[in-house]
Chains A and B, each alone.
Chain A
Amino acid sequence: AQSVTQPDIHITVSEGASLELRCNYSYGATPYLFWYVQSPGQGLQLLLKYFSGDTLVQGIKGFEAEFKRSQSSFNLRKPSVHWSDAAEYFCAVGARDYKLSFGAGTTVTVRA
């Protein structure tokens, strides 16, 4: 069965500083990997996804993620955070015809 671990429940970062959110997955085959963001009172918005090919994936809002098969990881990064990046971030894994399994989420707080 597929599963996702996000080791950090909560991260606080200063505005303008870099951000990295960790994601480790467990899946028997080549996974489909996703990062979503959820702002308070909102649904989920897709930031980026990895299916195959280049292991460094660019997404929206200046985010990128790197797929590392040897480490079963798909960490999300942003070089310089903005106050509007404060939200909850979810990593998810799935197979082509199956639905997503989500991690528990990481809440990001941005301090001025």
Chain B
Amino acid sequence: KAGVTQTPRYLIKTRGQQVTLSCSPISGHRSVSWYQQTPGQGLQFLFEYFSETQRNKGNFPGRFSGRQFSNSRSEMNVSTLELGDSALYLCASSLGTGLLYEQYFGPGTRLTVT
């Protein structure tokens, strides 16, 4: 069974631009979560989608948004990029919502904002 895939793997953007990251979950998984990983703040939860509905949200500004499609694929969008948005963005999928379901992580998208 294929794992979680994230595209693109690397991305360079300029301050003020917007970016869209994509995550394809493991087949059959209906929950997708997004995390931001930076050297200063560590791993922080962004949001979770289950059956096309946002179920949980972390403490990030409204510039960070996401959505999930009927095939469970998810996209994350960051508008008006700031230098501090440079990070590794990790996507994780699971069969269901809640921590009883194991999360499987993708390799991440490395975003650099210049």
Residues on A facing B (Cβ under 8 Å) = 32, 36, 41-46, 49, 51, 90, 92, 94-105
Contacts and interface: CB of A to CB of B under 8 A. Distances in A.
Interface of B: 4, 33, 42-45, 48, 56, 58, 90, 92, 97-100, 102-103, 105-108
Nearest to A41: B107
Given A44-B90, A44-B105, A100 B45 contact: yes
B56 A99 contact: yes
Contacts of A51: 100
Given A44-B105, A45-B105, A99 B100 contact: no
Contacts of A92: 43
Nearest to B44: A102
26 contacts: A32-B99, A36-B105, A43-B4, A43-B92, A43-B105, A43-B106, A44-B90, A44-B105, A45-B105, A46-B102, A90-B43, A94-B99, A96-B98, A96-B99, A96-B100, A97-B99, A99-B33, A99-B45, A99-B58, A100-B43, A100-B45, A100-B99, A100-B103, A102-B44, A103-B42, A105-B42
